């Protein structure tokens, strides 16, 4: 094998490793302390995102529900099921449930949920169809080039504010017209300055 082939194949392997799930964790569902199913809670039960992720409209952090939120239902239903035992244990012991973060940005990235959902970017645009996920996984890399694909041209991804929490939202055929209109109406800027996310 020539040196060139070696170098080329090394680069190819490195590139694949870098962009593949080993590195990006896309489509990998980590083991969680509770087999919590978004599919069941969102699709079957029809619970709104904000029932649990309470601060998504006000804070940078969408919010992970305290045990108390789980107990609003699970003190009444599935009270003896083994799958909900960690909730009851947490409630009784006062010890938090330790979830494994699925959407994890590097520490030098400051993402803010509230400004996105307030400007017509829907949950599913980034998180995908969570109502179809029995366990949570990432559908997007969250790499910077992925962020920039929207930050450079938000008109492609914007939706009416009323549809932000619609997890089944499909972009209409006239997105090319609607997008720019919404961008203007919501005063959405194409923010590509470094300080938008890095501080």
Partner 1 sequence: MRRSQHEPHHHYHPHDHDHPHHHDHDHQHPHAGGTASGLVTIGAIAEDTEKRKKAVDIQALREKLAAGRGPAFWRTLDEAAETEELREYIEQEFPGLSGEIPKGVDRRALLKVMAASLAMAGAAACTKQPKELIVPYVRQPENIIPGIPLFYATAMPVHGYARGLLVESHMNRPTKVEGNPDHPASLGSTTLFEQASVLNLYDPDRSETVLREGRLSTWSEFTGAFSTESQSLGIRKGEGLAILSGLTTSPTLISQIESLRAQWPTAKWYVHEPCVNPAKASAARKIAGRNAFVSYDLSKADVIVSLESDFMVDGPAALPYARQFSARRRAIDSGKDPCRFYAIESIPTPSGSLADHRFALESSKIPAVAYQLANACGVASANAPGDAPSWVNVVAQDLQAAKGRCVVIPGEFQPESVHLAAYAINAALGNVGTTVRLLEGVEPDNTHTIEELATDLNAGRVEVLVILGSNPVYTAPASLNFQQAIRKARMVVRLGSHFDETSKWSHWHVPEAHYLETWSDSRAFDGTVTIQQPLVEPLYGGKSAHEIITILQAKPDLTSHDIVKSFWQTRLKGDFDATWQTSLHDGIVAGTGLNTLNAAATPTLPALGNLAAYEMEVVLRPDSTIGDGTYSNNGWLQELPKSQSKMTWENPVTISPGRAAKMSVSTGDVLRVTVNGKSVEGPAWILPGQAENTIGVTFGYGREGSGRVGNSIGYNAYLLQDANTRYAAGGTVAKTGKHVDVADVQETQTMAEREPVRATKLAEFKQHPDFPNLEEKPLAPDDNIYQRSEWPYEGYKWGMVIDLNVCIGCHTCTIACQAENNIAVVGKEQVAKRRFMHWIRVDRYYSGDLDQPEIYNQPVPCMHCEQAPCEVVCPVAATVHSGDGLNQMVYNRCVGTRYCSNNCPYKVRRFNFLLYSDWDTQSLHGVRNPDVTVRSRGVMEKCTYCVQRIQEAKIQTEKEGRRIRDGEVVTACAQACPTQAIVFGDLNDKNSQVKKFQSLPRNYSLLDDLNTRPRTTYLGFVRNVNEALGGQRGNKES
| Contact set with partner 1 (CB under 8 A) | 11, 14, 17-18, 22-23, 25, 30, 54-55, 58-61, 63-68, 90-91, 94-101, 104, 106-108, 110, 112, 114-115, 118-119, 187, 189, 193-196, 198-199
Query: For residues 100 and 176, which CB has a smaller minimum distance to partner 1 in the complex?
Result: 100
- Beta carbon nearer to partner 1, 81 or 100: 100
Between CA 170 and CA 47 the distance in angstroms is: 19
HEC assignment per residue over 166-186 = CCCCCCCCCHHHHHHHHHHHC
The structure tokens 């080039």 sit at: 145
In the DSSP assignment, the letter for residue 188 is -
Choice between 8 and 176, CB closer to partner 1: 8
Q: Which residue has the tokens 């006239």?
A: 174
C-beta closer to partner 1: residue 64 or 178: 64
What is the smallest separation between the CB atom of 93 and partner 1, expressed in angstroms? 8
Please give the radius of gyration of the chain, using alpha carbons only, rounded to the nearest integer.
Answer: 20
Helix axes 67-74, 85-93, angle to 10 degrees: 120
> Rounded to the nearest whole angstrom, what is the least distance from the CB of residue 160 to partner 1 in the complex?
16
Cβ at position 65, least distance to partner 1 in Å: 6
Structure-block tokens of residue 155: 């008109």
């Amino acid at each position: 094998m020539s040196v060139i082939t070696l170098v080329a194949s090394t680069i190819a392997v490195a590139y694949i490793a870098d962009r593949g799930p080993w590195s990006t964790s896309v489509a990998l569902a980590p083991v969680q302390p509770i087999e919590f199913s978004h599919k069941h809670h969102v699709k079957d039960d029809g619970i709104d995102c904000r029932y649990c992720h309470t601060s998504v409209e006000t804070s940078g952090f969408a919010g992970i529900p305290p045990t108390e939120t789980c107990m609003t239902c699970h003190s009444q239903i599935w009270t003896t099921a083994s799958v909900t035992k960690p909730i009851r244990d947490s409630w009784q012991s006062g010890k938090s449930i330790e979830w494994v973060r699925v959407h994890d940005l590097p520490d030098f990235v400051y993402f803010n949920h509230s400004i996105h959902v307030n400007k017509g970017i829907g949950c599913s645009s980034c998180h995908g169809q969570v109502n179809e996920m029995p366990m949570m996984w990432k559908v997007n890399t969250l790499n910077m080039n992925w962020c920039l694909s929207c930050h450079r041209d938000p008109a492609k991804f914007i939706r009416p504010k009323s549809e932000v929490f619609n997890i089944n939202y499909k972009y209409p055929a006239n997105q090319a017209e609607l997008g720019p209109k919404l961008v203007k109406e919501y005063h959405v800027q194409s923010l590509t300055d470094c300080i938008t996310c890095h501080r």
